[in-house]
Structure 1
Amino acid sequence: MYGVWEYIEVLGDTVSNLEGRVRKAQANVKLLDGILATWVQKPIFERRDGKKDTLLSLEDKAERLKKVYSCMERDGAKVQAMVEENKLLLKVPASSRHWDRYLLFLDHMITRGLVDSVSRSLFYLLDNCESRSNQFPLLEARLELQDMHLIIRPSPEELQALAEEIVSDILHVSTFIPRLATHVHATYLPDLQKDEEVVGLKETLLERFQVAANRTAEHRDQFLQHQALWKDRRRDILDKFLTSGDNNTQPSLSQFKQQIDLYEALYTELEGIETTVVFDKWFRLDVRPFKHSLLENTKKWARMYKQHLISQVTER
């Protein structure tokens, strides 16, 4: 009789011990759920100072990514430690198909968490480049003259490259979490790259950036009709003009006035150029640098003819 009670006590202790280990393993999985929940709390890239009317904060891009990647690396270490602890708690034998299935279960959880995390960041960007009435610009480029060339900073090509880079940076978070089901892929990145939700968000975002790039290029190209103002050599044009009179003589005063009036009228027309243009409510083009240079060049052309007349008077 004593042996039976002793056996019952031992059995009870064994069951209690098993129950405690199972509960601890289940608690660890709940902790994993908690870790996954933190991945969707904030997008990786946001507007400056978290305000709705500021531009996307990219000045601190490297620092921001370093911080996010470090957090993911720490979370990856926590996940790895949790899995190892559960393996000990559940006393998994060296080779167990049940353990492989358990790892696959956890692997699916992490994959879903990473998909949600990446989608959160991509959707934030998409939501902030929606063409709606209450939208504020998310990104900005500048139109300016540099070394006789009319350029956009960033250029349409650089803007598209920026979009690709941002998407790549967002997806890269998946490489910091150790893969549990290593027989599938070495990292979680391939799963995210082919996930329908992620692919859809990525393609839509890249398409919007491409549209914005094209529209800024089109806006730039309309000003090429005035490129003579900044490309032509004024001295050469003046020399040619000075021999445009009858029998290659100097033009008349009225012809000088005609040239001066032409550039002054053009100056007045160019003053009407919009200094800021917003495409699809979210991409802003700052035209002020170019407009300033264009007006300065136009004034120089009118001044050239005026100064020639003045110099003629003073030399007499």
Structure 2
Amino acid sequence: MTRRVEFQLIEKEITRIDSLVSRGETELSWKSDGVLEYMVELGELVEGLWRRIKSAQMNVGKIKAALDAWTRTPLIARKDRRKDALLSFDERPEKVSRRYGEVERAAEQIHSLLEENKLLFQVGDGMEEPWQRYVAYVDGIVMESLRRAVGCSLGEWMLDVFCYDYC
């Protein structure tokens, strides 16, 4: 299943495939000259498009996986991960530096996967607007992951404030 932002990038190919299918329905029979070539052409178009879409969708999955790693772990955690311990700020500079490196690596991977998807969708002239909508879709995934990462860290901090004030 394709998303709307993906469909907009492959719409011309879908139209070409639909046109070929329509031709097969109206003009060809099993005994027609060139039916084998027609079937090979149609099969190659459909299979090629399916493989490219599947690869692009797998790349989006890789983007989500790269982001997911730091959405589940707070930037500053409790000492020894114990619920009754306070936040540990001793290793903060090291943890911030490590997280920054993770974010930089994720950004590089996202850019690389987006470039690969641009090739897979065969983005060419006249496709700037659909491509920008696709990039905005991926940006939304990144923004949601950043929101979850901040929420994870704030959740640890808020629990610490609550326990300090009320426990």
TM-score when normalising by structure 1: 0.40
Are residues 1:62 and 2:88 paired? no
- Report which structure shows greater RCO (CA 8 Å, sep ≥6): 2
Letter in 1 for 2:94: E
Q: In the aligned structure 2, how far is the partner of 1:122 from the partner of 1:55? A: 14
Are residues 1:6 and 2:33 paired? no
Are residues 1:98 and 2:118 paired? no
Are residues 1:123 and 2:155 paired? yes
Q: 2:143: which partner in 1?
A: 111
CA contact (8 A) 2:79 2:86 kept: yes
Q: In the aligned structure 2, how far is the partner of 1:63 from the partner of 1:95? A: 47
- Tell me which of 106, 110, 113 is aligned to 1:79: 110
Deviation at residue 65 of structure 1 after TM alignment: 0.7
Q: 1:289: which partner in 2?
A: none
Letter in 2 for 1:121: S
Deviation at residue 36 of structure 1 after TM alignment: 3.0
Deviation at residue 49 of structure 1 after TM alignment: 1.9
Q: In the aligned structure 2, how far is the partner of 1:82 from the partner of 1:115? A: 21
Greater alpha carbon shift after TM alignment, 48-57 vs 100-109: 48-57
Deviation at residue 41 of structure 1 after TM alignment: 1.3
Partner of 2:161, secondary structure, is coil
Q: 2:18: which partner in 1?
A: none
Q: In the aligned structure 1, how far is the partner of 2:74 from the partner of 2:125? A: 40
Deviations 1:255-279 (A, max 9, x none): xxxxxxxxxxxxxxxxxxxxxxxxx
Q: In the aligned structure 1, how far is the partner of 2:126 from the partner of 2:91? A: 47
Identity rate, percent: 32
Letter in 1 for 2:63: L
Give ranges in structure 1 of 5+ residues lacking alignment.
138-279, 283-316
Deviation at residue 55 of structure 1 after TM alignment: 3.1
* Displaced runs of 4 or more, over 4 A: none
CA contact (8 A) 2:86 2:160 kept: no
Are residues 1:39 and 2:50 paired? no
Give ranges in structure 2 of 5+ residues lacking alignment.
1-31
Deviation at residue 4 of structure 1 after TM alignment: 3.1
Letter in 2 for 1:115: R
Q: In the aligned structure 1, how far is the partner of 2:126 from the partner of 2:135? A: 13
Letter in 2 for 1:80: H
Partner of 1:124, secondary structure, is helix
**Correspondence 1:1-316 to 2 at 5 A:** 1-96=32-127, 97-130=129-162, 135=163, 137=164, 280-281=165-166
Letter in 2 for 1:98: P
Q: In the aligned structure 1, how far is the partner of 2:92 from the partner of 2:159? A: 20
Give the structure with the larger helix fraction: 2
TM-score when normalising by structure 2: 0.73
Letter in 2 for 1:4: V
Give the structure with the larger strand fraction: 1
Q: In the aligned structure 1, how far is the partner of 2:64 from the partner of 2:86? A: 33
Greater alpha carbon shift after TM alignment, 5-14 vs 16-25: 5-14
Deviation at residue 6 of structure 1 after TM alignment: 1.3
Letter in 1 for 2:102: C
CA contact (8 A) 2:53 2:121 kept: yes
